Amino acid sequence: MQRGLYIAASGMTSAMVRQDVIASNLANVSTVGFKADRVVNETFADSLLYSMKGGEPTPMGTMNYGTRVAGTITDFAQGSFRPTEQALDLALGGDGFFSIQMQDGTVAYTRNGQFTRSADGFLTTQTGEFVLGPDKLPVFAGESGDPVIRADGRVAARDGTLLGQISVVTLDVTGARKVGQNLWVGAETGGMPQSTQVRQGYVEASGVNSVKEMVEMINTMRSYESSQRIITSIDGTLDKAVNSVGVLG
């Protein structure tokens, strides 16, 4: 009976973690380029039960000890395009990530192409990090006027003069680590995929489906409440066993 308490409690703990992840997804439903996280559950190792009837151990089957959170994964599915008509707003159609130089000099990767320009004409994120080119140097976008950014990431002035090249890279997403809401750090596995295009004047909307997340939140809450009722029921049974069995005897 105590084992039942542990199993129900493990279900409640897993549900609490899922609720936290869902809440984070919903909080970023309007964040450009955001990718939703998903909780992965797994069961504890099963135990093999034996019957000792007749003096010889006879296998009876296995017994499960509940569930636990194995970790979270990110859903990198393509988000929809939202037009902005801003020359420095970019969206990636297909796989790949923009390369960003962090304040400490490390390179991070993002799908958020809502860029701006520094005073000296270099392409930056909204928080001031430089957008990098294939040479891992900041991309020059001109000090004035709207540049033309082509599908392959080349940046040109209105007269056709080439100004720079935006780096779009393939990332090993299985080993990438999420930093904050919109950045990843990890190992590059290649350059820009042939099927990927840079789209100027668009941003990639958040990958969160608010309706789906709300349904998942309701289901998770019901799962939590079910485990809670199981604990209450077992607790009541234990209370009767402790306080009534001896009296009846």
DSSP codes, 217-235: HHHHHHHHHHHHHHHHHHH
Whether residue 125 sits in one domain with residue 56? no
Q: What is the pLDDT of residue 179?
A: 87
Domain count, the chain: 2
Whether residue 71 sits in one domain with residue 36? yes
Whether residue 223 sits in one domain with residue 144? no
Q: What mean pLDDT value characterizes the chain? A: 87
- If one counts every other C-beta atom within 10 angstroms of the C-beta of residue 165, the result is 18
Q: What is the pLDDT of residue 43?
A: 72
Q: What is the pLDDT of residue 64?
A: 64
pLDDT in tens, 11-42: 888 899 999 999 999 999 999 999 999 998 87
Joined tokens for residue 106: 């490390």
Q: What is the pLDDT of residue 71?
A: 86
Whether residue 57 sits in one domain with residue 30? yes
Q: What is the pTM of this model?
A: 0.79
- Please answer whether residues 201 and 91 qualify as being in contact, where contact means their C-beta atoms are separated by less than 8 angstroms: no
**Alpha carbon distance 236, 89 (integer Å):** 60
Whether residue 178 sits in one domain with residue 109? yes
Going by the DSSP 8-state scheme, the letter that residue 114 receives in this structure is B
pLDDT in tens, 164-194: 999 999 999 888 888 887 899 999 998 898 8
Whether residue 168 sits in one domain with residue 99? yes
Q: What is the pLDDT of residue 233?
A: 87
Q: What is the pLDDT of residue 121?
A: 93
Q: What is the pLDDT of residue 181?
A: 78
Continuous H helices in 44-93? none
Whether residue 214 sits in one domain with residue 200? no
Whether residue 125 sits in one domain with residue 71? no
**What residue ranges of the chain have pLDDT lower than 50?**
none
- Please answer whether residues 96 and 190 qualify as being in contact, where contact means their C-beta atoms are separated by less than 8 angstroms: no
Whether residue 149 sits in one domain with residue 110? yes
Share of the chain above pLDDT 70, in %: 88
Whether residue 184 sits in one domain with residue 139? yes
Whether residue 115 sits in one domain with residue 59? no
Domain that holds residue 98: 81-204
* Termini Cα distance of the chain: 21
Whether residue 221 sits in one domain with residue 197? no
Q: What is the pLDDT of residue 62?
A: 63
At residue 68, what is the residue type?
R
